[in-house]
Amino acid sequence: MRALLVVNPQATATTPAGRDVLAHALASDVKLDVVETDYRGHAADAAAGAVVDGYDLVVAHGGDGTVNEVVNGVLRGGAEPGLPMLGVVPGGSANVFAGALGLPRDPVEATYRLLQAIEHGTSRKVSLGHVAATGAGADHDRWFTFNAGVGWDADVVAGVEQQRAKGRQASPALYARTALTSYFTQRRRPSTLTVRIPDEPSFEDVRLAFVSNTDPWTYLGDKAIRLNPSTSFDGGLGLFALHGMGLPTVLRYVTHLLATDGNPRGGNLLRRDDVEFVRVTSPEPVNLQVDGDLLGACTEVEFTAVRGALTVAV
């Protein structure tokens, strides 16, 4: 088996020692090549090259952004038979994709699980989400593994990226502070989003739309935030959209999500757990994020479920 190990040395929990241990362990079972990323999009380019060169396995060692890039590289030519299998060894701060797969978030334990999967040939097919966005100068075509969204969450991602560019480290506290600041900015904006899902009338005057490809939506430290608990890698997409962002409404949902295992409900909430696509339009440009990565502003975006798009070693 030929394998390519893609390492993001800038990821939060990735260290040179950990990389060397992982590479040494994998090299004992497979014919291994290693790439360390040094520019945005490098992981995607390396994974796309692995497809062309006929590799059997591409292992992403980094955070969810690294995993997303590797997935987009593997699927650059579309979800077709014969693509390399994906392996994941977490090295970021949240590691949502790995957690949703039931993989250990500890890199050493995850490496052992990956070696066991290689030895025993165990894997599973996972569904992915696909984003096509246009407007405001945007032309995005991107896969996502666990969540995407327009509105508040994308603005939070934009704010965190600005802070990281100044040298701040991503942390639950940074996300919480940025979310609070973005909330008050959101409240001053009109309700302009229109949401469309299959076989239902359009939903007007929506303030935010979060789309899930699996459960949980994300983690806050060790706490799983579960917006759509019935959504999984075996089905369609989950939708969590709010018509209002008044303080009592937001506090009720935030408290519920932090204090329970999810399953939120309410009059201001539009929630679906297994849909084939979600289309969101806005007369004004709104930010779009996928897997915690800011894509930029757009005025129309369609999220589509693609079942069995990728094979993952588990």
Give me the CATH number covering residue 47: 3.40.50.10330
DSSP letter assigned to residue 95 = -
162 pLDDT band, cuts 50/70/90, is confident
Same domain, 161 and 273: yes
Same domain, 116 and 194: no
Pairing of strands 293-313, 277-290: antiparallel
What does the alpha-carbon distance between residue 1 and residue 120 come to, in Å, rounded to a whole number?
A: 13
Tell me which of 121, 150, 167 is where a domain ends.
121
What does the alpha-carbon distance between residue 283 and residue 163 come to, in Å, rounded to a whole number?
A: 29
**25 domain residue, yes or no:** yes
Amino acid identity for residue 10 in this structure: Q
Same domain, 147 and 107: no
Same domain, 117 and 132: no
What does the alpha-carbon distance between residue 240 and residue 228 come to, in Å, rounded to a whole number?
A: 7
Does the pLDDT of residue 14 top 90, yes or no?
no
**40 domain residue, yes or no:** yes
Q: Kindly list the distances between the CA atom of residue 297 and the CA atoms of 46, 248, 287, in Å, as whole numbers in the listed order.
A: 27, 28, 4
151 pLDDT band, cuts 50/70/90, is confident
Tell me which of 88, 106, 121 is where a domain ends.
121
Structural domain that includes position 77: 2-121
Place of tokens 């408290």: 255
Tell me which of 86, 104, 121 is where a domain ends.
121
Same domain, 109 and 18: yes
Give yes or no for a contact between 124 and 289, defined as CB atoms under 8 angstroms apart: no
**Residue 266 Ramachandran class (φ > 0 left, ψ -120 to 50 alpha, else beta):** left
pLDDT tens digits for range 282-294: 999 999 999 999 9
**314 domain residue, yes or no:** no
CATH number at residue 138: 2.60.200.40
Same domain, 269 and 240: yes
pLDDT tens digits for range 20-75: 999 999 999 999 999 999 999 999 999 999 999 999 999 999 999 999 999 999 99
H or E, element range at 62: strand 57-62
- Residue 191 has what pLDDT? 65
Same domain, 235 and 304: yes
pLDDT tens digits for range 188-206: 776 689 999 999 999 999 9
Same domain, 172 and 102: no
**What is the reported pTM?**
0.92
Same domain, 81 and 202: no
Same domain, 186 and 299: yes
The chain-wide mean pLDDT, for the chain, equals 92
Same domain, 139 and 232: yes
**Domains identified in the chain, total number:** 2
| Token digits of residue 267 | 């009059």
Q: Where are the beta strands (DSSP E) in 80-166?
A: 85-90, 123-135, 138-144, 147-150
**85 domain residue, yes or no:** yes
